[in-house]
Amino acid sequence: MPKRSKSKASSGRIRYAVVGLGHIAQVAVLPAFRHLGNAELTALVSDDAEKRETLGSRYDVPHVFDYDEYDRALEQVDAVYIALPNSLHAEYTVRAAEAGVHVLCEKPLAVTAAECERMIGACREHGVKLMTAYRLHFERINLEVIDLVRRGVIGDPKFFAATFSMPVKEDDIRADRELGGGSVYDIGIYCINAARYVFGAEPKEVMAFALNGVPDRLPEIDEHTGALLRFEGERIASFISSFTAADTSQYRIVGTKGDIHVEPAFEHREALKYWVTADGKTREVEGKVTDQFGPELEYFAQCVLDEEPGPNGEEGLQDVRIIEAIYASADAGRAMPIPPFEPHRRPSLDQQITKPALGEVDLVNTESPSK
């Protein structure tokens, strides 16, 4: 096990390494550190020398490493932000845990529930925190919608319907099955997690269809998937995720006295907006473009010091269990049960953290995943 240098946690500043310097790391994670008071960017890990040199210089990062030097990187930090392909999340999380380093891992937490459980077990064994990077658990518009539903503004919530779609490039990692690609893993997971936090409940079973009308472009994964989930309290959630349809990002929650429509709902570089209709009146609320990644970095840094994260490893595990059930249902042509689950805590307004919007950045050897 590598020996880490002296931690700065006692002074209230958590040292992070960002592991993987692809698109999301470059446009959102790295620039987010400029607005953090309790965390600092200490190390970068990538197999691309140009990325390490250029981005290390741009953000004044004192330590840069390639993947073969990951154990050395862990000696310099208190926490890692894992932004690697889904298939690598488990390996790099377990190695961090064994080195006594806390882990903030991009969603999905892993490709299989078994991998998630191994990650959770390793972090528990070595006494480190594990958090799934659900940025919308700290974003004002989504948290206000949760609050409106909980306060009964639209009555008893009955059904939820969502779509999240974008035309993904066929050579992107999201289209590679071995790397954990697939529309539900990448974007459908937002719809699943939103249904769970808006209902404040868990699904009991799912029926799904996974289709591919363009096998020449996306031969290894689903083009789009539709799922119907039955929730506790005899409520229903539905969603469609697609890698070939035009951009959409929205959900609607309908209750006995009204409804709330959120659009865009899942984007991180647009102002999110919702319309709430109750008692025959409609009110529109629009947020601002903000940095959605700084809040989760700051929140996790605080959790390292004194509390269990809300979106912890078990929260990530539950969504992966649901994803596995969705694909199993699509393969078998029948409904699949989902094991019971009780979250550590559900997102609420007191988790709201707002950071200034991030500007545009010059990308280094990466590009947007969508056309």
Name the pLDDT band for 10 (thresholds 50, 70, 90): very low
Q: Do the Cβ atoms of 84 and 95 come closer than 8 Å?
A: no
Q: Is 197 tagged catalytic?
A: no
Question: For residue 174, is pLDDT > 60?
Answer: yes
140-289+318-346: CATH homologous superfamily? Dihydrodipicolinate Reductase; domain 2 (3.30.360.10)
Q: Average per-residue pLDDT in the chain?
A: 95
What's the confidence (pLDDT) of residue 191? 98
Name which residue leads in pLDDT, 257 or 371.
Answer: 257
pLDDT in tens, 226-255: 999 999 889 999 999 999 999 999 999 999
Q: Among the options 190, 197, 251, 274, which is catalytic?
A: 190
What's the confidence (pLDDT) of residue 232? 87
Q: Do the Cβ atoms of 168 and 369 come closer than 8 Å?
A: yes
Residue ranges per structural domain of the chain = 9-135+294-311, 140-289+318-346
What's the confidence (pLDDT) of residue 241? 98
Q: Is 107 tagged catalytic?
A: yes
9-135+294-311: CATH homologous superfamily? NAD(P)-binding Rossmann-like Domain (3.40.50.720)
Calculate Rg over the CA atoms of the chain. 20
pLDDT in tens, 192-233: 999 999 999 999 999 999 999 889 889 999 999 999 999 988
Half-sphere exposure at residue 176, Cβ-oriented, CA atoms within 13 angstroms: 9
Residues 6+ apart with CB under 8 A from 10: none
Instruction: State which H helix or E strand residue 65 sits in.
Output: strand 63-65
Residues 159-175, mean pLDDT to the nearest whole number: 95
Question: Whose CA is closest to 43, among 6, 81, 13, 10?
Answer: 81
Judged on CB neighbours under 10 Å (0-12, 13-18, 19+), 64 is buried
Cis peptide leading into 369, omega within 30 of 0?
Answer: no
Question: For residue 11, is pLDDT > 70?
Answer: no
Residues 283-305, mean pLDDT to the nearest whole number: 97
What's the confidence (pLDDT) of residue 101? 98
Residues 106-112, mean pLDDT to the nearest whole number: 98
Q: Among the options 107, 129, 185, 274, which is catalytic?
A: 107
pLDDT in tens, 15-55: 999 999 999 999 999 999 999 999 999 999 999 999 999 99
Name the pLDDT band for 131 (thresholds 50, 70, 90): very high
Report the 10 Å Cβ neighbour count for 359: 6
What's the confidence (pLDDT) of residue 12? 72
Question: Whose CA is closest to 309, among 319, 299, 317?
Answer: 299
What's the confidence (pLDDT) of residue 371? 74
Question: For residue 6, is pLDDT > 50?
Answer: no
Residue spans of alpha helices (H) in the chain: 23-24, 30-32, 49-58, 70-74, 89-98, 113-125, 140-150, 183, 189-199, 293-306, 313-332
